[in-house]
Amino acid sequence: MAKPDLFQPWTLRDVTFPNRIFVSPMCQYSAEDGYPNDWHFVHLGSRAVGGAGLVMLEATAVTPEGRISPGDLGIWSDDHISEFKRNVDFIHAQGTAAGVQLGHAGRKASCAAPWVDGGRALTADEGAWQTVGPSAVAFSEDSPTPHALSVDEIGEIIEAFVAAARRAEAAGMDMIEIHGAHGYLLHEFLSPLANRRDDEYGGSLENRCRLALEITQAVRAVWPANKPLFFRISASDFAEGGWTIEDTVQLAAWLKDAGVDVLDCSGGGNVPNPDIPVGPGYQTEFAARVKRETGLATGAVGMITDPVQAEHIVHSGQADCVLLARELLRDPYFALRAAAELHGDVHDNIDVPKQYRRAFR
C-alpha cells in the first residue's frame, strides 16, 4: 500500500521536512529575559523525539516590548542565539526540521501568563510596560490603550524583525514564520477593527497590508534564499466589520509575490468574544481556499486531533501540512502513533528513534 501523504517528505527551497505533521507554535510563558531554558529543551525535544516533521518554537519576540508576557521567548539580542541553537541542534539530531515564529504582541503585550487570572494585563507593580498598536484603540475594556506608532517607530519594528531573522539564521533554524495572526501587532494593522490610521499604513486594504508586506520583504531579503519563509494569518476576525477570508486571499497573493512559501491559516484573536464555529478542522477551509485561489502552499491548523483526519487534509489537497497544538501537548508522540495507525509499515512511514524501536514492530 502507498505511503500516506502525511508521511511524504516535503521539500521547500533546500529544506526537506520528513513529514507533514508540524508542531504549531505554542507559548510556554516560561522564559526569563527571552532565553529558552530546560523547560523549552525538554518540551521541544520531546516533540522532536515524537517524530514531528517540523518543531516550530513559540512566538518569539523581536523586542522586549513585543512580548505577550514577561515569560515569552525573545531574540532581540545576539546573546540569545546560543540558547536557541542548543534546541535547534537537538531537534536536528532527531532528523527533523527546526523553526521559530517571530512576532510582536502589539496592543496585546504586557500581560500575565494565562494561568494567572486568565492572562490579565500586568499592573505597574508587576512591571507593566507601554503597549503599542496602529491606533490608540484598546483590545478590550480591561486592556490598556496602546500608543499609536509613528512612522519612524514602525521602521524600528521592521528593523527588529530583520535583526531577529538574522539571529534565527545564526541559530541554525530551517524556517521562520512571521506571526501575522491572533490579534498581535501585524494583525492589528491588517484589521479595520484595530487600525484607524489615516496615513499610508491605514484606510485601504493595501495600506493596512503595508506593514505585513514591508516586514515580509525586509525579512526575505536577509533570510537565506535556500530556506522557506512562512507567514501565519488569522484568515478571519470572525467579527462584524473585521478582516475577512476575501482579504486573506488578496494578501496571500501579495505575500506569495514577496517570497512567502507557506501561509499558515489560523483565525481570530482580534476581538474579545468572537463568534467562532469551533469544531474538528474548523479552519481547514481557509487553507483550502487560499491554496485553491492563489496557488500558495498552505498549512491547516485548528482542532486537528486524529491521524485519519490529518491524512485526509493533506491527501485531499486542502493543505500541504497540518499544524497541531493541543493534541501535541496531550501526546508528544502523535506522529509516531499516526505512523503506526495509518496504512503501511510504521518504519516505512517514519524514522522511529532507535531507542524506542522495540515499541513499534
Ligand X SMILES: Cc1cc2nc3c(=O)[nH]c(=O)nc-3n(C[C@H](O)[C@H](O)[C@H](O)COP(=O)(O)O)c2cc1C
Catalytic residues: 184
Report the residue number, 7 or 22, with the smaller CB distance to ligand X. Answer: 22
Question: Measured from the CB of residue 204, what is the shortest distance to ligand X in angstroms?
Answer: 26
Question: Measured from the CB of residue 152, what is the shortest distance to ligand X in angstroms?
Answer: 28
Report the residue number, 319 or 346, with the smaller CB distance to ligand X. Answer: 319
Q: How far apart are CA 38 and CA 41, in angstroms?
A: 5
Strands 10-12 and 15-17: antiparallel
Closest CA to 224 of 171, 265, 291, 186: 171
Cell reading at 79: 546573546
Binding site for ligand X (CB under 6 A): 24-27, 58-59, 101, 179, 181-182, 232, 266, 301-304, 324-327
- The C-alpha cell 528513534 sits at 353
- The C-alpha cell 527551497 sits at 13
Q: How far apart are CA 104 and CA 157, in angstroms?
A: 9
- The C-alpha cell 532507535 sits at 354
Question: Measured from the CB of residue 357, what is the shortest distance to ligand X in angstroms?
Answer: 28
114 Cβ neighbours under 8 A, 6+ residues apart: 29
Report the residue number, 148 or 276, with the smaller CB distance to ligand X. Answer: 276
Question: Measured from the CB of residue 325, what is the shortest distance to ligand X in angstroms?
Answer: 3
Report the residue number, 72 or 197, with the smaller CB distance to ligand X. Answer: 72
Q: How far apart are CA 129 and CA 121, in angstroms?
A: 10
Cell reading at 201: 499604513
Q: Would you say how long the chain is, in residues?
A: 361
Instruction: To the nearest 10°, report the CA torsion of 35, 269, 295, 284.
Output: 100
Strands 147-148 and 73-74: unpaired
Report the residue number, 197 or 232, with the smaller CB distance to ligand X. Answer: 232
Question: Measured from the CB of residue 44, what is the shortest distance to ligand X in angstroms?
Answer: 13
Question: Measured from the CB of residue 242, what is the shortest distance to ligand X in angstroms?
Answer: 18
Report the residue number, 215 or 346, with the smaller CB distance to ligand X. Answer: 215
Q: How far apart are CA 247 and CA 70, in angstroms?
A: 33
Closest CA to 251 of 314, 187, 340, 306: 187
Report the residue number, 182 or 291, with the smaller CB distance to ligand X. Answer: 182
Q: How far apart are CA 227 and CA 229, in angstroms?
A: 7
DSSP 35: B
Question: Measured from the CB of residue 226, what is the shortest distance to ligand X in angstroms?
Answer: 25
Buried b (16+ CB within 10 A) or exposed e, 55-73: bbbbbbbbbebbbbbbbbb
